[in-house]
Amino acid sequence: MTEMAKIERERENNNNNINELNEEAQMEKLPNPLPYRRNKALVKELSVPPPGAKDLYFPSQYSQPTMGQFKSCLWKQYLTYWRSPDYNLVRYMFTLLVALVVGTVFWKVGTKRSNSGNLTTIIGAMYGSLFFVGVNNCQTVQPVVAIERTVFYRERAAGMYSALPYAIAQVIIEIPYCFVQTMLFSFIVYAMVSFEWQVAKVFWFLFVSFFTFLYFTYYGMMTVSITPNHQVASIFGAAFYGLFNLFSGFFIARPFLVDILHNVHQTLHIFTLVEEKFIYDLPNRFVKCIKPEENVKLR
């Protein structure tokens, strides 16, 4: 091993000598080689640390604490969303269009609750509209998150912030935009469908709509986080829309689900929120149907 090490060292020295001769030959062709020689000598001098010098040391990986990182990430997300009208305005316009269509098609059906068919119509309308707007939220947020992820990789590698403050800021920044979307959708639909104007019922309607839009949006963020790009995330997300729809409890009622599917229903409980909304909206009412066996007593 000693002989091999000597041979390797001699080979490296020969290569260095050859490189220096080539550089000298190139330098002689320059009209003024003095700056080149001076810069080369300066680089060689600064490449050797002075005696007693210590390696650079930083007490923490990031320049700011976790709260400072979170504030910076939240401000960054705020500017990004405010300067992305193609994302937010399109989402709001789509929500407004769906609310007007639902309100027009189901004009004042909220007052028609004489039988179970009318009740199913109302619940189905609300379920379909919430599901439709939620799927749109999931699909529109995916390209935005995918673009921001590229920026996140670069800034995290530079030591600007860690993953946790960034993720929390990304989650929180969606709340006010989803809240405005909920207000835009809920009051239009609530007024045109003619539900009862009581504080508790209006609040419950807003609560269910808000969290439905919110967790669909977060689901779109999750699909981007676990996939390489937003195209794959869109395919992955669409694969679960059918599960959401099938096991939500609307097409297959809860009493008809076996134990395993009942657990799936509890996990994917989109319709459960909508169902609870209307059960709360109709407390202690007896829905009299045309057929006596269809008569149902609500809570």
Q: pLDDT tens across 124-164, in order? A: 888 888 888 988 999 999 999 998 888 898 888 888 888 89
The rounded distance, in Å, linking the Cα atoms of 191 and 108 is 8
Reduced DSSP (H G I as helix, E B as strand, rest coil) percent helix, strand, coil of the chain, to 5 = 75, 0, 25
The rounded distance, in Å, linking the Cα atoms of 208 and 210 is 6
pLDDT at 217: 92
Cα distances from 216 to residues 114, 133, 240, 241, in angstroms, run 33, 9, 11, 10
Reading the block at residue 15, the tokens are 């290569």
Tens digits of residue pLDDT in 196-230: 888 988 898 899 899 889 989 999 999 998 998 88
pLDDT at 251: 65
Q: Which residues, including other chains, have CB under 8 Å from residue 225's CB and lie 6 or more apart?
A: 145, 149
The rounded distance, in Å, linking the Cα atoms of 217 and 136 is 9
Judge contact between 207 and 276, C-beta under 8 A: no
pLDDT at 291: 41
Q: Give burial (CB, 10 Å; 0-12/13-18/19+) of 190.
A: buried
- Tens of pLDDT, residue by residue, the chain (299 residues): 466 666 677 777 666 666 665 666 666 666 666 776 777 778 878 878 788 778 777 787 888 888 999 999 999 999 999 988 889 999 999 999 999 998 898 888 877 777 777 777 888 888 888 888 988 999 999 999 998 888 898 888 888 888 899 999 999 999 999 999 999 999 999 888 888 888 988 898 899 899 889 989 999 999 998 998 888 988 888 888 877 777 666 666 666 665 555 555 555 554 444 444 444 444 444 444 434 444 444 43
Q: Give burial (CB, 10 Å; 0-12/13-18/19+) of 78.
A: middle
pLDDT at 294: 46
Q: Give burial (CB, 10 Å; 0-12/13-18/19+) of 214.
A: buried
Judge contact between 122 and 278, C-beta under 8 A: yes
Instruction: Please give the model's pTM, rounded to 2 decimal places.
Output: 0.69
- Radius of gyration, alpha carbons of the chain: 32
pLDDT at 267: 54
Nearest to 286 by CA among 113, 161, 126, 130: 113
Judge contact between 178 and 213, C-beta under 8 A: yes
Supply the DSSP symbol for 282.
S
Judge contact between 130 and 209, C-beta under 8 A: yes
Domain positions in the chain are 7-47, 69-286
Neighbours of 255 (CB within 10 A): 7
For 25-50, b where at least 16 C-beta lie within 10 A, e where not — what string?
A: eeeeeeeeeeeeeeeeeeeeeeeeee
Q: How many helices and strands (H and E) does the chain possess?
A: 11, 2
